[in-house]
Amino acid sequence: MAERVRRSLTLLWAFVVVSAIILAVGGLVLGAALGGALRQQALDDARLALSQYTNGVLAPRLVYGTELRVGARATAFIRADLVERPDILSVKVWRADGVLAWTNLAPERIGRSFPLSGHLSEVIETGKPKAELEQLGDAEDAVEAGLGKRDVIEVYAPVISGGEVIGAYEVYADASRLEESIAGRKGVIWIVIASVFAVLWLLLLLLARGASITMRRQTAALRERSLALSESYRLLEESSLEAIESLNATVEAKDPYTAGHSLRVQRIALAVAGELGLAPKELDALRFGSLFHDIGKIAVPDVLLTKPDRLTPDEYEIMKRHSAEGARIVSKFGRLRDSVPIIRHHHERWDGRGYPDGLLGEDIPIAAAIAGLADAWDAMTIERPYQRALSVDEALAEVRVNRGTQFVPAVVDAFFAALRKRPAEFGIPEALTAAAS
């Protein structure tokens, strides 16, 4: 859970960082777009204003029918008007064939022919005015470049007469005020955009921080709840085991001759399992399975458990039900679920003649086979009303004889190996261990 929460918080803060990058890029793109739109709008305003100037002031004095004529009176008027318009640096009047018909600067250029290109050519062809911010530097603009104004507004407007384009005006205006206005407005735009996007990101940051705090609180609450549930489950398991142990004690109390049998079977089974290298989970299952292997006898009538004589065939059939009944009882407890096969199959035989399912050979769970041999050993070596206890030699001989018939061969081999190492676990004095060799 902690790892999932940590990963979720990492993704959340990564999202915040990525959002900041996206907002910054979006702000730059938006600012550039608005700046471009502002610049274009300023140029459109300048084009409109200068086009109105050429059509309203210049055209009536230069156009005669379908011809462009610039006389002394027109020249004097235009020069005087330009004095009143210091923002206009230069005016050129072009004929449609590329001849410079008039200009207020360097009049020696009047009458010269220049190649028609760029906006000038486009305006003469289409009859639509054009405007741009331009850096002076062409040969044709050498005189205007000498005015000391690097950036100018250059407007081209058609000279129209009788619906035909007979020439064009080329007007240069000082762009400094326009540039200052654009720069000031761009500054405002960038400040507004930066402020709005910063506020948006701060809000996102606050939301992420709130979500992070909430997630951490919920995680802490879930952890506490999980610990409480784990403790409750542990106590429930303990109660369940205590209940099973009580049932198991009840079974042994019915037969005083088998007192301590379950603990002895458990001790022997774990010793044998140690030789076979069972995994920790299998050992845990065997620990409980061997201890509660006979718990199903709680359902067997007391008269059979305490009968001093051998059981009749019918009574034996009833007794044989205890392994399946024990598995049914233990299966109700989750903690003991892995022990169910051990309890059910500890009376199976290698030759398939065991009960309750007649499992054969390798089909028998190894832990059940271990519990079965430990159970048989203890049964052979304790005194009962209907059966005397076998001596150590006799019991060991029985185990050897039944290797590969009743008992699983690998389990028998492990049994003898464990007996030689830890004879006390089997209730045998060390002096007698030579018989196990």
Asked if 271 and 145 sit in the same domain, the reply is: no
How many Å is the maximal CA-CA distance in the chain? 153
Quick check: is 68 in a domain?
A: yes
Which pLDDT tens digit goes with each residue over 199-227? 877 887 787 777 778 777 877 777 788 77
Q: Name which residue leads in pLDDT, 77 or 173.
A: 173
Cα angle 128-129-130, degrees, rounded to a multiple of 5: 120
Q: Name which residue leads in pLDDT, 190 or 313.
A: 313
- 151, 166, 187 — which closes off a domain? 187
Q: Name which residue leads in pLDDT, 36 or 159.
A: 159
Asked if 182 and 263 sit in the same domain, the reply is: no
Q: How confident is the model at residue 367 (pLDDT cuts 50, 70, 90)?
A: very high
Q: Which long-range contacts (CB under 8 A, 24 or more apart) does 242-249 make?
A: 244/292, 244/295, 244/329, 244/330, 244/333, 244/336, 247/295, 247/298, 247/329, 248/291, 248/292, 248/294, 248/295
Quick check: is 275 in a domain?
A: yes
Asked if 288 and 168 sit in the same domain, the reply is: no
Asked if 276 and 178 sit in the same domain, the reply is: no
Asked if 147 and 296 sit in the same domain, the reply is: no
Number of domains in the chain: 2
Asked if 183 and 274 sit in the same domain, the reply is: no
- 187, 212, 229 — which closes off a domain? 187
Asked if 68 and 174 sit in the same domain, the reply is: yes
Q: How confident is the model at residue 70 (pLDDT cuts 50, 70, 90)?
A: low
Asked if 183 and 289 sit in the same domain, the reply is: no
pLDDT for position 262: 87
Q: CATH code at 411? A: 1.10.3210.10
Quick check: is 235 in a domain?
A: no
Asked if 315 and 409 sit in the same domain, the reply is: yes
What percent of the chain stands above pLDDT 90?
23
What's 115's DSSP letter? Answer: -
Asked if 301 and 426 sit in the same domain, the reply is: yes
- 127, 153, 187 — which closes off a domain? 187
Q: What average pLDDT score do residues 162-184 get?
A: 77
Quick check: is 75 in a domain?
A: yes
Quick check: is 149 in a domain?
A: yes
C-alpha–C-alpha distance, residues 75 and 103, integer Å: 9
Domain residue limits at 334: 255-436
11 Cβ neighbours under 8 A, 6+ residues apart: none
83 CA to centre of own chain: 72
Say whether pTM exceeds 0.75: no
pLDDT for position 141: 61
Quick check: is 71 in a domain?
A: yes
pLDDT at position 69 over 70 = no
Q: CATH code at 39? A: 3.30.450.20
With contact defined as beta carbons under 8 Å apart, do 436 and 414 qualify? no
Quick check: is 270 in a domain?
A: yes
Quick check: is 127 in a domain?
A: yes
Asked if 154 and 270 sit in the same domain, the reply is: no
Asked if 43 and 158 sit in the same domain, the reply is: yes
Mean pLDDT (the chain) is: 79
